[in-house]
C-alpha cells in the first residue's frame, strides 16, 4: 500500500495516526491507541487476559496492527454494562434519541474518509470505493434511520387498545468484514433510535473501523453502557453473546454456516435472532433486454467489492440461444477490469480479504473447471502482474448448469456463472432452485420484469439497475436469513409490541 494512506501501527503494534493527521484525535481519549482495549460502559478497559490477534493488509499480506481478542469474561462485562444501562436509556424521549443520532451522524460524516482509509487497509477495497461506498453507506444508513425514525409511530390506538412499540432490550451484534461499517450501522443506528443498548463484536479481519465508531459514539455523548465494543472471535465472544440470558436479541450478519451456529446457541434462551446470511443471487437477462448492456452491467455488479457481497448477482441467466454472445461480452468486460493495489486510483478490483478466502475461491474455480463449466475468462491463480497479495483473477464461466458446485455454493469472490434458459418459466425455476433467497436481478422490458419479480423467492428484486434505496427492506428468504434491515424495517426489528387492552376505557 502506498503512503497515500495513514501509517497506522507503532512499534508496540498499537494504532496511531500519521503525520498527515486523519482526525484520530477528536475525542477525549483516542481509541486508535487502544486496539488492545475494549470500549465498555463508556470507558476503554483492559481485557481480562491480553491475547493479541494480527490484522493483515490483504494487498501485501503484511501485518498492519494487532487487536486484543476478548474472552468470555470480557463479553460478560459488556453485557452487564448494557443491561444496567437499558432501564435508563429505554425511557429516554424520542427527541433525545433523535438529537443523539444527529450528533453521531455529524461526526461520522466528518470522519468518513478516515473510516474509508481504514477499511481499505483492513479488507482491501479500492480506496476510492472504500471512501465513497464502504464508508459512505455507513453515513447514509444513519441518515435513512433518522428519516424513518422521525415518522415512526411508537404508540397508536387500535380501537380501544393502545399498541406500543418498546425497545427489545440488550442487543448483541455480530458483524462481518466484507461491508464492515455498513453492516455495523445497519444495527447500531436502529438500536439507538429505538432505545436499545448493545454489545458489538465486529469481525477480527476488519476490526479497526469499529474502533473508530466507538470513538465517535463516545464523542457524541452516547450514555455509558449503551454502546459497548468487544473484539473477539465467534467461538468465544460470539458464542457468549448469542447464548447469554441477559441478551434479548442477537443480530448477526455473516455466512449461513455461522448463522446456524448462532441460532443454535440462542435457542435455549428463546431470544430473537435476526440474521442476514449468504446468497447466490440470480441475474435474469430477458429476451427483451439489451443483452450486451445488461451483461456488462451484471459483470461489474458481480465483481464489485472483489465479489465479496452477499447479494452479488453471481448466477447470470441468459437465453440459451445467446449464450455465445453473452459469454464473449462478459469475458471482454472481465478482461477490462483493473486488478491492483487498493491505493491505485485506476484499480477496479482489489484483493479478497484473507488467505482463507483466497484459498476457498481458488478451490471453487478449480472445481468449476473439473465439473465441465466452460472457462471464458480468468481462472486459477493471481493475475500475472501481481506476485503477492490475495488477488483473484476476474473469472467467468459459461455453459454452467445449476447443479454444478459453482452455481450452488456462495463463492464470495469475483467469479460469475452464466446459465442458459429456454423459457421464462425455465428461468424462474432455475432462479428459485437454490437454498438461498437474498436478492435477485432482472433486466428487460419493465412490465415483464415487474410480473416476473413476484415469482422470485428472494427478499429483494432489482429491476433494470436502479439506484441504491436505503429505505427498501434488506434481508432474505430461506437460508439467507430472517428479518429485515434498513429504514423503518430495521426499526421494527429492534422493538417488542405490547397491546394495552382497554386503554380507552374509563
What pLDDT tens digit does each residue of the chain (506 aa) get? 333 323 223 323 222 333 223 333 333 444 444 589 999 999 999 999 999 999 999 999 999 999 999 999 999 999 999 999 999 999 999 999 999 999 999 999 999 999 999 999 999 999 999 999 999 999 999 999 999 999 999 999 999 999 999 999 999 999 999 999 999 999 999 999 999 999 999 999 999 999 999 999 999 999 999 999 999 999 999 999 999 999 999 999 999 999 999 999 999 999 999 999 999 999 999 999 999 999 999 999 999 999 999 999 999 999 999 999 999 999 999 999 999 999 999 999 999 999 999 999 999 999 999 999 999 999 999 999 999 999 999 999 999 999 999 999 999 999 999 999 999 999 999 999 999 999 999 999 999 999 999 999 999 999 999 999 999 999 999 999 999 999 999 999 999 999 999 999 87
In terms of domains, do 273 and 286 share one? no
| Cell numbers found for residue 102 | 444527529
In terms of domains, do 462 and 317 share one? yes
- pTM tops 0.75: yes
For 233-382, where are the E strands, in sequence order?
A: 249-253, 272-276, 282-285, 315-319, 374-377
Whether residue 501 lies inside any domain: the answer is: no
Give yes or no for a contact between 417 and 397, defined as CB atoms under 8 angstroms apart: yes
Q: What is the H or E stretch that residue 188 is in?
A: helix 180-194
Q: Within 13 Å of residue 460, how many CA atoms lie on the same side as its CB?
A: 26
The helix/strand/coil state of 368 is helix
Instruction: Find cell 455453459 and name the residue.
Output: 399
The count of residues in the chain is 506
In terms of domains, do 296 and 273 share one? no
Whether residue 34 lies inside any domain: the answer is: no
H helices then E strands: how many in the chain?
16, 22
The confidence score (pLDDT) of residue 24 equals 32
Strands 161-167 and 155-158: antiparallel
Q: How many Å apart are CA 349 and CA 327, to the nearest integer?
A: 20
Please give the torsion angle defined by the CA atoms of residues 429, 297, 123 and 436, in that order, rounded to the nearest 10 degrees: -10
In terms of domains, do 310 and 367 share one? yes
In terms of domains, do 100 and 152 share one? yes
Whether residue 13 lies inside any domain: the answer is: no
Whether residue 54 lies inside any domain: the answer is: no
Range of the domain at 187: 70-277+484-496
Identified catalytic residue from 310, 333, 410, 493:
310
| Cell numbers found for residue 109 | 460524516
Give yes or no for a contact between 435 and 449, defined as CB atoms under 8 angstroms apart: no
Q: How many Å apart are CA 227 and CA 43, to the nearest integer?
A: 10
Q: How many Å apart are CA 115 and CA 496, to the nearest integer?
A: 33
| Cell numbers found for residue 381 | 491463480
DSSP 135: I
* CA-based end-to-end distance of the chain: 71
Residue 430 CB burial class (10 angstroms; 0-12, 13-18, ≥19): buried
Whether residue 119 lies inside any domain: the answer is: yes
Give yes or no for a contact between 60 and 391, defined as CB atoms under 8 angstroms apart: no
Q: How many Å apart are CA 415 and CA 392, to the nearest integer?
A: 9
Identified catalytic residue from 133, 215, 276, 410:
276
DSSP 268: G
The confidence score (pLDDT) of residue 34 equals 55
Domain count, the chain: 2
Q: What is the DSSP string of 24-82?
A: ---SSS-GGG-TTSEEETTEEE--SS--EEEEEETTTTEEEEEEEPP-HHHHHHHHHHH
In terms of domains, do 252 and 322 share one? no
Whether residue 39 lies inside any domain: the answer is: no
In terms of domains, do 157 and 79 share one? yes
For 277-347, where are the E strands, in sequence order?
A: 282-285, 315-319
Whether 276 is a known active-site residue: answer yes
In terms of domains, do 269 and 121 share one? yes
DSSP 7: P
Rg (CA), the chain: 23
Q: How many Å apart are CA 415 and CA 406, to the nearest integer?
A: 9
In terms of domains, do 129 and 202 share one? yes
In terms of domains, do 272 and 288 share one? no
Task: Please give the backbone phi and psi of residue 273, each rounded to the nearest 5 degrees, phi first.
Answer: -120, 115
DSSP 322: G
In terms of domains, do 218 and 286 share one? no
Whether residue 9 lies inside any domain: the answer is: no
Q: What is the CATH number of the domain that holds 198?
A: 3.40.605.10
Whether residue 345 lies inside any domain: the answer is: yes
In terms of domains, do 236 and 364 share one? no
Selection from 307, 305, 351 nearest residue 59 by Cα: 351
Q: How many Å apart are CA 129 and CA 123, to the nearest integer?
A: 12
DSSP 151: T
Whether 48 is a known active-site residue: answer no
Q: What is the CATH number of the domain that holds 309?
A: 3.40.309.10
Amino acid at each position: 500500500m502506498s503512503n497515500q494512506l495513514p501509517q497506522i501501527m507503532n512499534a508496540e503494534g498499537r494504532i496511531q495516526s500519521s503525520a498527515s493527521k486523519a482526525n484520530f484525535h477528536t475525542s477525549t481519549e483516542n481509541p486508535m491507541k487502544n486496539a488492545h482495549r475494549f470500549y465498555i460502559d463508556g470507558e476503554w478497559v483492559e481485557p481480562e487476559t491480553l491475547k493479541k490477534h494480527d490484522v493483515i493488509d490483504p494487498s501485501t499480506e503484511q501485518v498492519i496492527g494487532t487487536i486484543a481478542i476478548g474472552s468470555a469474561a470480557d463479553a460478560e462485562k459488556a453485557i452487564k454494562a448494557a443491561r444496567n444501562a437499558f432501564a435508563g436509556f429505554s425511557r429516554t424521549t424520542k427527541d433525545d434519541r433523535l438529537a443523539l443520532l444527529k450528533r453521531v451522524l455529524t461526526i461520522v460524516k466528518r470522519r468518513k474518509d478516515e473510516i474509508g482509509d481504514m477499511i481499505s487497509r483492513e479488507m482491501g477495497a479500492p480506496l476510492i470505493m472504500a471512501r465513497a461506498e464502504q464508508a459512505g453507506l455507513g453515513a447514509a444508513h444513519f441518515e435513512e434511520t433518522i428519516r424513518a425514525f422521525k415518522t415512526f409511530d411508537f404508540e397508536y390506538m387500535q380501537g380501544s387498545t393502545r399498541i406500543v412499540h418498546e425497545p427489545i432490550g440488550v442487543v448483541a451484534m455480530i458483524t462481518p468484514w466484507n461491508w464492515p461499517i455498513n453492516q455495523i450501522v445497519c444495527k447500531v443506528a436502529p438500536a439507538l433510535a429505538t432505545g436499545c443498548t448493545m454489545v458489538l463484536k465486529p469481525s477480527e479481519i476488519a476490526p479497526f473501523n469499529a474502533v473508530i465508531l466507538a470513538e465517535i459514539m463516545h464523542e457524541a455523548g452516547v450514555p455509558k453502557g449503551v454502546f459497548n465494543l468487544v473484539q473477539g472471535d465467534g467461538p468465544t465472544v460470539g458464542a457468549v453473546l448469542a447464548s447469554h440470558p441477559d441478551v434479548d436479541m442477537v443480530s448477526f450478519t455473516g455466512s449461513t454456516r455461522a448463522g446456524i451456529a448462532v441460532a443454535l446457541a440462542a435457542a435455549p434462551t428463546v431470544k430473537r435472532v435476526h440474521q442476514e446470511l449468504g446468497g447466490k443471487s440470480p441475474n435474469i437477462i430477458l429476451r427483451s433486454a439489451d443483452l450486451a448492456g445488461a451483461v456488462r452491467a451484471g459483470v461489474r455488479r458481480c465483481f464489485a467489492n472483489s465479489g465479496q457481497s452477499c447479494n452479488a448477482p453471481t448466477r447470470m441467466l441468459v437465453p440459451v440461444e445467446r449464450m455465445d454472445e453473452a459469454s464473449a461480452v462478459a469475458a471482454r468486460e472481465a478482461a477490462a477490469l483493473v486488478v491492483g493495489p487498493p491505493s491505485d486510483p485506476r484499480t477496479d478490483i482489489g484483493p479478497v480479504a484473507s488467505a482463507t478466502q483466497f484459498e476457498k475461491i481458488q478451490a471453487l474455480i478449480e472445481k468449476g473447471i473439473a465439473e465441465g463449466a466452460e472457462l471464458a475468462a480468468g481462472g486459477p491463480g493471481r493475475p500475472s502482474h501481481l506476485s503477492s497479495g490475495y488477488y483473484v483473477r476476474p473469472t467467468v464461466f459459461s455453459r454452467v448448469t445449476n447443479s454444478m458446485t459453482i452455481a450452488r455454493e456462495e463463492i464470495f469472490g469475483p467469479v460469475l456463472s452464466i446459465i442458459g434458459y429456454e423459457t421464462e418459466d425455465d428461468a424462474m425455476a432455475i432462479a428459485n432452485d437454490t437454498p438461498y433467497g437474498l436478492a435477485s436481478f432482472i433486466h428487460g422490458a419493465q412490465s415483464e420484469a415487474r410480473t416476473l419479480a413476484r415469482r422470485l423467492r428472494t427478499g429483494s428484486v432489482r429491476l433494470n439497475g436502479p439506484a441504491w434505496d436505503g429505505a427498501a427492506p434488506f434481508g432474505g428468504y430461506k437460508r439467507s436469513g430472517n428479518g429485515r434491515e434498513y429504514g423503518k424495517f430495521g426499526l421494527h426489528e429492534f422493538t417488542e409490541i405490547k397491546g394495552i387492552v382497554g386503554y380507552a376505557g374509563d
